[in-house]
């Protein structure tokens, strides 16, 4: 062995050390608006296998929280917007904190670090629905955490979309909170500061590109050659930095230039728009992760090591609203079944390997529902496709997506199959007045994957509850027999 061997060992530990440091603190959003969900334990294993150390949730589902217990993963648990009003009542807030936070704080329980109060509640598209209820909910939740004696370790924060400040800014240094909510934002920032809680913002370079056709493409990435945006002495080379520093300026303008900022969501979708592609997602994340590993900050917050970032998101969600766009169901770095979509090196070293997939995933049988070529009456075809797509996800058929360009029969097959899979391949869901038929031949074509759904926990739960229903039906019959 000698010196050479020792050096090899030393190099090995040095590399391993680098890897761990680079992956340290990286978070990811775990949304669950999917018709078929991987079992929470499977997801938690996947998080651990890939070295994620933090996870941000959108609710406080007991099944999710229980699966996270003992995992060592830091958790941002959440209150959905539709519960904000309820949290305006202090007793309700105290109950929520007990049920969703303190109950999990046993040894080997859940490492709760934050409570997300609402999710982008001030989006302009919500027409002010949550303007009155968000701050009181934030106050009640933090006060309840404080009263429970955990407020020094667990902070309430409100994940906000960059539209609370971004639209009005010409340059990052001119960043101010949106005029219609300026007072409210000031009060929220004051409350966060008083409790040493961070500001949480979601930043989406993809949406900058999507919403503005003249947006310089390369400026959305971190390795681009777009003409920089000049702001005084600073040259911004990417929209993430410009966006983030606009917030730093807005915070400075209300007297809190040093408030910690968490990036609650950042990511790139892979389907549903001409710019939503795996190759672009790979490029975006590649640049982002390289920066995180190198602890590169923004011009106004150069110490990137302080920045806490949650990727958006973990798994595709086929039941999300597509009001924002068809891409909304395709933000996952993993597909619906926990398979990685593209090469991604979380250590930020630019490696070309794929993430570790979900283990032990169970699929429904290899069966598809397709257009039945023997059908003669096609008068209901359009209507049937519309119906199928209303209750399943057909966003891959749209312009710029992987199944765009199929003919009408191809569209019908795709739609029928998505419906069939959502219905757990129930035979009666593949009929459509004779237009559809079940096949065991893989119907995928070219770039267009015809899905076979997973046998999800939700399905298993339904099966279990129908057994319960069946049993109670039996007991009702026995009871009737007995009475008669
Ligand atoms: C907001 O207002 C617009 C236009 O009046 C309406 O179409 C939309 O449904 C409203 N959204 C919500 C969340 O109330
Ligand atoms: C919020 O409060 C204001 C003032 O009390 C009221 O005019 C407005 O209708 C409220 N908004 C909602 C969505 O409840
Ligand atoms: C297939 O469906 C897509 C998405 O709805 C649509 O844009 C396209 O025109 C359809 N193709 C045919 C041939 O009907
Ligand atoms: C069907 O074919 C596609 C494309 O070749 C493939 O990716 C997929 O794994 C196949 N599905 C099954 C269930 O065999
Ligand atoms: C289709 O599935 C295969 C793996 O089975 C995957 O490699 C490919 O990226 C998928 N294509 C799309 C557009 O999802």
- How confident is the model over 236-292, as pLDDT tens digits? 999 999 999 999 999 999 999 999 999 999 999 999 999 999 999 999 999 999 999
Residue (of 148, 366, 401, 437) closest to 271 by Cα position: 401
Mean pLDDT over each residue of the chain, to the nearest integer: 90
pLDDT band at 337 (very low <50, low <70, confident <90, very high): very high
Q: Compute, in degrees rounded to 10, the torsion defined by CA atoms 37, 41, 47, 48.
A: -170
What is the tens place of the pLDDT at every residue in 163-182? 999 776 789 999 999 999 99
Q: Are 148 and 109 in contact (CB under 8 A)?
A: no
The set of protein residues with a Cβ atom below 6 angstroms from ligand 5 is 402, 447, 449
Rounded to two decimals, what is the model's pTM? Answer: 0.90
Per annotation, catalytic residue among 53, 74, 120, 308: 120
Asked if 383 is an active-site residue, the reply is: no
pLDDT score recorded for residue 23: 37
274 three-state secondary structure: coil
Residue position matching structure tokens 């904190």: 97
Q: Which residues on adjacent β-strands are paired with residue 155?
A: 114
For ligand 5, atom 5, which residue shows the shortest CA distance?
449
User: Is the pLDDT score of 476 beyond 50?
Assistant: no
Ligand 4 neighbourhood includes 84 CB (under 6 angstroms): no
Ligand 3 center to 35 CA (angstroms): 24
For helices 381-390 and 408-422, the axis angle rounded to 10 degrees is 40
Q: Residue 412's Cα: distance from chain center in Å?
A: 29
Q: Which CATH number fits domain 368-453: 1.10.150.120, 1.10.3720.10, 1.10.1240.10, 1.20.58.1040?
A: 1.20.58.1040
In the chain, where the domains are located: 2-329, 368-453
Residue (of 193, 203, 200, 123) closest to 164 by Cα position: 123
Residue range 111-130: mean pLDDT, rounded: 96
Ligand closest to 367 (CA) is 4
284 CB burial (10 A radius; 0-12, 13-18, 19+) = buried
Per annotation, catalytic residue among 53, 265, 308, 328: 265
Ligand closest to 364 (CA) is 4
pLDDT band at 25 (very low <50, low <70, confident <90, very high): confident
Distances (CA, A) of 334 to 256, 340, 379: 37, 4, 39
> What distance in Å separates the CA atoms of residue 257 and residue 471, rounded to the nearest whole number?
62
pLDDT score recorded for residue 471: 36
- Mutating to test ligand 5, I would choose from 278, 393, 398, 449 the residue with most ligand atoms within 8 A of its C-beta, which is 449
447 CB burial (10 A radius; 0-12, 13-18, 19+) = exposed
CA terminus-to-terminus distance, the chain: 88
pLDDT band at 386 (very low <50, low <70, confident <90, very high): very high
pLDDT score recorded for residue 168: 66
Main-chain phi, psi angles of 317, to 5 degrees: -130, 100
Q: What's 394's DSSP letter?
A: -
> What distance in Å separates the CA atoms of residue 322 and residue 2, rounded to the nearest whole number?
63
What number does CATH give the domain 2-329?
3.20.20.80
Ligand closest to 335 (CA) is 5
């Amino acid at each position: 062995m000698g010196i050479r061997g020792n050096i090899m060992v030393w190099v090995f530990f040095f590399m391993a050390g680098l890897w761990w440091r680079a992956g340290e603190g990286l978070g990811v959003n775990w949304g669950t608006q999917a018709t078929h969900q991987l079992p929470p334990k499977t997801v938690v294993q996947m998080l651990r296998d890939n070295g994620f150390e933090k996870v941000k949730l959108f609710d406080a589902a007991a099944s999710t929280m229980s699966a996270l217990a003992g995992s060592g993963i830091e958790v941002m648990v959440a209150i959905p917007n539709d519960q904000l009003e309820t949290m305006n009542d202090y007793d309700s807030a105290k109950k929520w904190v007990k049920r969703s936070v303190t109950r999990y704080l046993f040894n080997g329980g859940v490492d709760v670090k934050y409570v997300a109060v609402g999710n982008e509640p001030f989006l302009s598209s919500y027409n002010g629905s949550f303007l009155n209820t968000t701050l009181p909910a934030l106050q009640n939740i933090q006060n309840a955490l404080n009263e429970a004696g955990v407020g020094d370790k667990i902070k309430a924060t409100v994940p906000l979309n960059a539209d609370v400040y971004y639209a009005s800014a010409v340059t990052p240094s001119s960043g101010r909170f949106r005029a219609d909510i300026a007072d409210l934002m000031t009060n929220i920032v004051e409350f966060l500061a008083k409790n040493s809680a961070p500001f949480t913002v979601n930043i989406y370079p993809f949406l900058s590109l999507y919403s503005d056709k003249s947006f310089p493409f390369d400026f959305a990435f971190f390795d681009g050659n777009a003409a920089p945006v000049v702001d005084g002495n600073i040259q911004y080379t990417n929209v993430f930095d410009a966006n983030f520093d606009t917030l730093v300026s807005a915070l400075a303008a209300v007297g809190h230039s040093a408030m910690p900022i968490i990036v609650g969501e950042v990511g790139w979708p892979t389907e549903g728009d001409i710019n939503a592609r795996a190759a672009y997602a790979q490029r975006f994340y590649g640049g982002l992760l390289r920066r995180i590993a190198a602890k590169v900050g923004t011009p106004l917050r150069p110490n990137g090591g302080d920045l806490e970032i949650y990727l958006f998101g973990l798994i595709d969600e086929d039941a999300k609203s597509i009001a924002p766009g068809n891409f909304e169901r395709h933000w996952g770095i993993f597909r619906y079944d926990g398979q990685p979509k593209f090469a991604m090196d979380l250590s930020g070293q630019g490696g070309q390997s794929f993430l570790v997939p979900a283990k032990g995933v169970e699929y429904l049988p290899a069966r598809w529902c397709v257009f039945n070529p023997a059908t003669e009456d096609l008068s209901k075809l359009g209507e049937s496709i519309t119906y199928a797509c209303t209750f399943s996800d057909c966003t891959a058929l749209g312009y710029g997506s992987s199944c765009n360009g199929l003919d009408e029969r191809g569209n019908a097959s795709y739609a029928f199959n998505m419906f069939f899979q959502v219905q757990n391949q129930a035979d009666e869901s593949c009929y459509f007045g004779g237009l559809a038929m079940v096949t065991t031949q893989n119907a995928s074509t070219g770039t267009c994957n015809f899905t076979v759904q997973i046998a999800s926990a939700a399905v298993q739960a339904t099966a279990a509850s129908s057994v319960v229903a069946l049993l109670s039906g039996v007991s009702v019959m026995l009871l009737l027999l007995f009475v008669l």
